[in-house]
Structure 1
Amino acid sequence: MIPKIDSDIGILSHTTSFAGCGGRIRAKFEDFAVSEILDKKTIASLSSDGYAVYRLKKTGIDTNHALDLIFKKTGVRLKALGLKDASAVTEQYVCSMAQNKILPNYSDGKITLEKIGFAKKPLTGKDMVGNHFTIRIDGADQTLADFAESDRILNFYGYQRFGSKRPVTHLIGKAIIQKRFAEAVNLLLSFTSPYDSEQNTKLRQELADTQNYSKVLPMVPPQMDLERTILEQIISHGDPKLALHHLPIGIRRLYIEAYQSFLFNRTLSEAYQYGEDLFAPQQGDVCFDKSAKLGKYQMDDSQKLAIPMVGYSYFKKTRFDYHISKILEQEQIKPSDFYLKETQELSNEGGFRSAKIECSDFMVNSDVASFSLQRGSFATMVMREIIKPQNPLEAGF
């Protein structure tokens, strides 16, 4: 039986036969450690001048809020190669966007920033090839050591892409591309979830009535900074489209990408349940080669099956269009909807994503699993197949 929150984000199946070892992750921050893996060429190219590159270690704070904190303290904007959430101990790389903007090493208990060198041009996500995870499973039974299907896990987007305890980001994204801006604002402010805290749910129930906005604004806690921004804007001028525009562009793009991610999860689920082979490419498939370049399948064992991500340049000529077309019809969405003429900075052309997770260095030692994943894959999707939680959020996901 698939938990409801899985189906809410488009995940309709497990793909391994392992019964599940039970237990939970993230009993404390130190139980979930992740460190980015930089491309070896990038590391070798670091020099003594150019754009400063830092190693950012953090605990109990997500990447966006960590970088905002650094900006408020220093006035310098740093760019991350990937996003890391708050419920973990993480190590990642960030880069200055201006030459010769150098920050001193910094530590405050939650954040440690250490300069490791300079790059000739600002680093991007392509300089990060993957992530290494070390995860302790609290309360796992002895069968954990028997898990041997790390090559049979589909590359679903994980819970955190959709908001975890409040899986709403994809719904906001859909409302935006359908130009239902008032609905997007309403979802952001008042969407409730059975997985969220009682305090947050009560606040959001108040926000379901627009007449309560001024009354509720002083009660909005600091961590709801997006909600506060939207409320202040709506109270000021009442224009939902303009209010959304005041959110950081990275957040607005994340909403669109979350809806793409939902469609991708649905595609994987529908194709898997239909009986498509998603673990090996076939003649005519689009694949990634060992250098992550896209091309047609050439009977090369190093090629990895790629599945389309819907966007305004959606590529129809794959065996997956049968499933994607059905899903788009059900969702009442067209690929062209991802071209947002009035807000072109949010337009998304789509692309391709690996069908399965490439999980390397997999090892179990007592109640700890460690492994490396390619960039963009979610460790929680590996742990989902290992634990088989009945309630993922109660299990720390």
Structure 2
Amino acid sequence: MNSDSLLVPTITKSERVIGHIKHQSEDFIVCEKIDENHILDPRIETYNLPGKKGLFLHFVLIKNNIDTSVALDWISNLWKVERNDLSIAGTKDKRAFTAQRVSLWGVKRRYEEGNLKEITLPKIKTKSFCFRIKDIRLGDLWGNAFDITIRRIPTEATIIQSSLETKIREINDFGYLLNSFGQQRFGKIRPITHLVGEKLLLGEVREALKIYVGKSYGTESQEALDARKLYWETENPQDVLKIIPDQMHIEKKILKYLQKHKNYERVFLSLPLQFQKLFIHAYQAYIFNKYLKIRYNEYSKNLCEPLFGEKIIDNVSYAPLIGNKTELTGQSKEIYSKILENEEVSLHDFNRSLAVKLGSRGSYRALGMKAHNLLINDIAEDELNPGKFKVNLSFELRKGSYATEVLKEILSQG
């Protein structure tokens, strides 16, 4: 499947700026915004975390160019705590410099005895320990604030300024951009999370693990490609473990479990809970993106006026994010019925026992998103790319919305 088919096209018409993001991780800064008064910026030293005193450890995780799940694995190993006891409000981009809250249960005595130290490593740091009455749950945030540098822009500063001002006016005039799930929801290097999710939804756990470990894309290292190819052809964990690169942490964990157990569902359920839920949620996101494209192109471009079967919240239309508790009606049902028929799945598949365990309830998701406080902060010569220019932008998004979906309206990566 072409990864472009996972995404929703742009809707603004003015010319986009040619440039590149994430030249280095510090060019993509993500600050978790807990509420109107608390923003966690990875560039500052101390934080005041909200909440009443209690038994859950809360701390700030600063990470740089590392996947959220890998960072949490490191913390689990270094502190010798259960991985599932670490909770976050949401994942952050891998190739980025990010700050977010994490909660952990059952370590207050260790902390009081001085046996729980802050972690300071090149890729991760833990800061601002405090104890609060509640743990952190998925979605416990207002959203995220972004500070992004676009590099390797070939045009002059005055032209960049004019183009960006035109684009920002157009975005503001639209009011809402399409609130699609971004590429990172499906995997940037290997867009396979929704493929794994589809197999889990159908109860085909062996096939799901085979795709996760064995399906390769040419953008990976040769060592990774060789390991994936060997597993795809043989499904022999012992042989693959001899050649698999160290950085493939989750794959190694799966292969080691497979050496001991041939119960594929048991192997899958031994993985961290938040990681397990990633895949069916990715498949739900894939289906939602298809819904959004059809709805916008064939039914109505008005994101503030619901179709029959959608609902209105805070002046924007919300559509079902399909799951085992979803009840479809009207035009919404009509669109989803076409999609599910083409995908050869049904609503009943979301009621399979494994799908229910993995949190496939479904919900509603806004069809439109606003880029709050979208600003041009600076345009200057690009010190990393002589003869080119760079621009620094900032904006805020509500939880569940993707910065890359704003940037694709602004940026053409030529």
Aligned to 2:90: 82
Q: Is the 8 A contact 2:200 2:354 kept in 1?
A: no
Distance verdict in 2 for CA 1:235–1:30, change over 3 Å: same
User: Using the alignment, how far apart are the partners of 2:252 and 2:74 within structure 1?
Assistant: 17
**2:327 aligned with 1:315:** yes
Q: Deviations over 1:51-109 (max 9, x none)?
A: 23212211122222222212222234432111113210001111122373544433222
1:14 to 2, 10, 18: 10
**2:22 aligned with 1:26:** yes
Shift of residue 269 of structure 1? 1.0
Q: Is the 8 A contact 2:224 2:244 kept in 1?
A: no
User: Using the alignment, how far apart are the partners of 2:86 and 2:272 within structure 1?
Assistant: 15
User: Using the alignment, how far apart are the partners of 2:77 and 2:235 within structure 1?
Assistant: 33
Shift of residue 122 of structure 1? 1.4
User: Using the alignment, how far apart are the partners of 2:176 and 2:354 within structure 1?
Assistant: 42
Residue-pair matches, total: 374
User: Using the alignment, how far apart are the partners of 1:237 and 1:74 within structure 2?
Assistant: 27
2:132 to 95, 119, 122: 119
Aligned to 2:45: none
Shift of residue 134 of structure 1? 0.6
1:97 to 100, 105, 116: 105
Which segment is superposed worse, 343-352 or 303-312? 343-352
1:28-43 matches, within 5 Å, as 28-40=24-36
Aligned to 1:331: 343
SS at match of 1:137: strand
Q: Deviations over 1:335-366 (max 9, x none)?
A: 12112225642241111111012210100132
Shift of residue 309 of structure 1? 0.7
Aligned to 2:402: 378
Can you give the 5+ residue segments of structure 2 that lack an aligned partner in the other structure?
A: 39-47, 380-390
Q: Deviations over 1:166-223 (max 9, x none)?
A: 1111001101111222221221122122443444223322222126542221211222
Aligned to 1:110: 123
SS at match of 1:219: coil
Shift of residue 380 of structure 1? 0.9
Which segment is superposed worse, 326-335 or 16-25? 16-25
User: Using the alignment, how far apart are the partners of 1:132 and 1:347 within structure 2?
Assistant: 28
Q: Deviations over 1:306-332 (max 9, x none)?
A: 011111122212532221110000011
**2:192 aligned with 1:168:** yes
2:256 maps to a residue whose letter is: E
1:137 to 150, 160, 172: 150
Distance verdict in 2 for CA 1:277–1:320, change over 3 Å: farther
User: Using the alignment, how far apart are the partners of 2:92 and 2:11 within structure 1?
Assistant: 26
User: Using the alignment, how far apart are the partners of 1:265 and 1:91 within structure 2?
Assistant: 28
Which segment is superposed worse, 67-76 or 345-354? 67-76
After TM superposition, the score normalised by the length of structure 1 is 0.86
Distance verdict in 2 for CA 1:74–1:117, change over 3 Å: same
2:213 to 156, 168, 189: 189
Aligned to 1:70: 75
1:249-328 matches, within 5 Å, as 249-282=273-306, 286-287=310-311, 289=313, 302-328=314-340
Can you give the 5+ residue segments of structure 1 that lack an aligned partner in the other structure?
A: 290-301, 391-397
Distance verdict in 2 for CA 1:347–1:50, change over 3 Å: closer
1:187-226 matches, within 5 Å, as 187-210=211-234, 212-226=236-250
User: Using the alignment, how far apart are the partners of 2:218 and 2:195 within structure 1?
Assistant: 16
User: Using the alignment, how far apart are the partners of 1:340 and 1:386 within structure 2?
Assistant: 41
User: Using the alignment, how far apart are the partners of 2:345 and 2:52 within structure 1?
Assistant: 48
**2:256 aligned with 1:243:** no
Provide the identity percentage: 28
Which segment is superposed worse, 27-36 or 189-198? 189-198
Q: Is the 8 A contact 1:60 1:88 kept in 2?
A: yes
